[in-house]
Structure 1
Amino acid sequence: MKVLCLHGFRTSGSFLRKQISKWDPAIFQDFSMVFPDGKYPAAGKSDIEGIFPPPYFEWFQFNKEFIVYTNLDECISYLCDYITEHGPFDGLLGFSQGATLSALLLGYQAQGKILQNHPPIKFFVSIGGSKFRDPSISEIAYKDPIKVRSVHFIGDKDWLKVPSEDLTRAFYNPLIIRHPQGHTVPRLDENTTKQLREWTKMILQENSDPENVKATNAAHVTSDEGQSVIGA
């Protein structure tokens, strides 16, 4: 199964690959992970300067209140073209700006706004993601709970903790994994590693058994909008 992995603001695909390498390789050993760079070169200082070598990229730009966005439509078009050319993709994984953007793509696809000729994306791994706050976007993308299996990493010390919690409410039955760290791709303890590995195994099993996919999807869609929570 193929996963498109979108990096955070003013970093790079290579840096996200390094961040994910902190996790047990067994978690995604049966997946093909793709780490593209953002559409635009970083227009300012990167938080990883001196930690990881440039170049750095950003997907789009935004104002301080995260209500006004620049080059967002161009970014969405770019990613839709990338997904069509290099896909099909079965899942999305994103950190920070990459997670926020991934959730938007899923919501837009669910509403028939984009990727109409691409198979429905089946799963989503969000690390420190959030919602778009512009009503002209949010009222479309999050109009209905997104029927995609999702796992959300939320840090106790993350400055985006509350927005990340709000994002979980845009999905049916999200798995929430809490960790004591800040706005970062967290290191996982033994219990959390086991839970995430079981989650990816479930994704693989559903994909290999079409009848099972129909049954689990039906149960997934018709169940109450609950949340499973794991504390790291």
Structure 2
Amino acid sequence: MPPSPRRKILMLHGFVQSGKIFSSKTGGLRKTLNKIGYDLLYPTSPMRITKEELMVLHNIQSDEVSDKKMASEFNTNTDGQEAYYGWWKRNRSSFQDFDVGQDVWDYLHDYVISNGPFDGIMGFSQGGAFAGYLLTNFHKILNLSYEQQPPLKFFVTFNGFRLEAPQFQPSYDKHPLSTPSLHVQGEQDTVVSENRILSLYNSCQEDKRTLLRHPGGHYVPNSKQYVSQICNWIQWVESQPHTPLDDKSKEAVHEKQDCMKPDLGDDLMEAIDSMMGATRLKD
């Protein structure tokens, strides 16, 4: 028998990251998914973010922020070799004062056509929020036909939230997310509040959503324990593409999750980094 075709996942990076940085931050997950037949593709938003813009956007004085603090808050790299990007920039301190540029919509439209079709979509923080909004009406928002991109089968968001700007609310209200979704929340996340994370979770159809908590902060957990749970959930959804997730399947994903502890590996280092920052910068 010929080998099964490899499946693709669209990976949307967070604020002050890039596709390359997001790839490095999801190493454990990426390697495991590669082994079970998935290729992860990491686009980089066309909207560049400079450190100077970041300081103005968040009203930060130059002596109040360091590269180390920026790295811990946004789970990014600050080695001087990387440029930073975002899917949008806030116009001021309000979560509701922003818009997404047409160049971003056009870029994702072209990226999906050139690199897809995709089976699923994942996003971290701002990228998870953006993915969630896209899924309210993916084909209309990105001007795609079902021949160009069949309906996505799953959505995984790490510390993602519902977009708060008024112009995006009608799409959430008219089109509750029906794609099976896994919402991974760091219980010690000081960047995106639990209420904001749950706002996206509550925008999804009740029988299609699953919440998975880990005891860390604002990062993608890469320990074997959580990578296994995420991959098991994806495989479950893929095996029953037309069947809503029932209570038993949800329990299988996050059974005893509150009493589990992460491996003393990558997640421990991420947790330490997450606690180092004092200035709280928000997506």
Q: Does the TM-score normalized on the shorter chain lie above 0.5?
A: yes
Change (3 A) 1:60 1:154: same
TM-superposition CA deviations, 1:160-202 (whole Å, max 9, x none) = 1221111111222312110111111123353x33322221222
Any conservation in 1 of the 2:186–2:218 contact (CA below 8 Å)?
A: yes
- Quick one: distance in 2 between partners of 1:34 and 1:140? 26
**Pairwise CA distance, 1:152:** 0.9
**Pair 1:101-2:130 in alignment:** yes
Change beyond 3 A, Cα 1:157–1:88: same
Shift of residue 141, structure 1, vs aligned partner: 3.1
Root-mean-square deviation (Å): 2.7
Shift of 1:116: 4.1
1:53 aligns with one of 63, 72, 81: 81
Q: SS of the residue aligned with 2:174?
A: coil
TM-score by length of 2: 0.68
Deviation of the 1:24 alpha carbon: 7.5
Q: Which residue of 2 aligns with 1:185?
A: 220
In structure 2, the gaps of 5 or more residues are: 1-6, 55-69, 261-283
Distance apart, 1:103 and its partner CA:
0.8
Asked if structure 2 preserves the Cα contact closer than 8 Å seen for 1:24 and 1:193, the reply is no
* Residue 18 of structure 2: aligned partner: 12
Q: SS of 2:137's equivalent?
A: helix
Q: Does structure 1 conserve the Cα–Cα contact (< 8 Å) formed by 2:30 and 2:40?
A: no
State the partner residue of 1:3. 9
Shift of 1:73: 3.8
Structure showing the higher strand proportion among its residues:
1
**Secondary structure of 2:185's partner?**
strand
For residues 30-69 of structure 1, what are the structure 2 equivalents within 5 Å?
30-44=37-51, 47=71, 48-51=76-79, 53-62=81-90, 63-69=92-98
1:205 corresponds to which of 226, 239, 242: 239
CA shift digits 1:133-161 (9 cap, x unpaired): 12221221343321111111111111312
C-alpha distance 24-7 of structure 1, shift in aligned 2 (>3 A)? closer
Matching of residue 149 in structure 1 with residue 180 in structure 2: yes
Structure 1 alignment gaps of length 5 or more: 207-212
CA distance in 2, matches of 1:49, 1:197: 26
**What is the distance in 2 between the residues matched to 1:197 and 1:37?**
24
State whether structure 2 residue 236 is matched by structure 1 residue 196: no
Indicate how the Cα distance of structure 1 residues 52 and 89 shifts in structure 2: closer, same or farther if over 3 A, else same: farther
Q: Distance in 1 between matches of 2:28 and 2:238?
A: 22
2:27 corresponds to 1:21 = yes
State TM-score, norm by structure 1.
0.81
Structure ranking higher on relative contact order (CA contacts 8 Å, 6+ apart): 2
Tell me which protein shows more helix as a share of its residues.
2
Amino acid at match of 2:114: E
Matches of 1:7 and 1:167, distance apart in 2:
17
**Deviations for 1:59-105, whole angstroms, at most 9, x for unmatched residues?**
22113222121444432232122212221112111101111111111
State the partner residue of 2:119: 90
| Alignment partner, residue 210 of structure 1 | none
Percent identity over paired residues: 25
> Separation in 2 of the partners of 1:24 and 1:116?
27
Q: What is the aligned length?
A: 218
Distance 2:162 2:101 in 1: 14
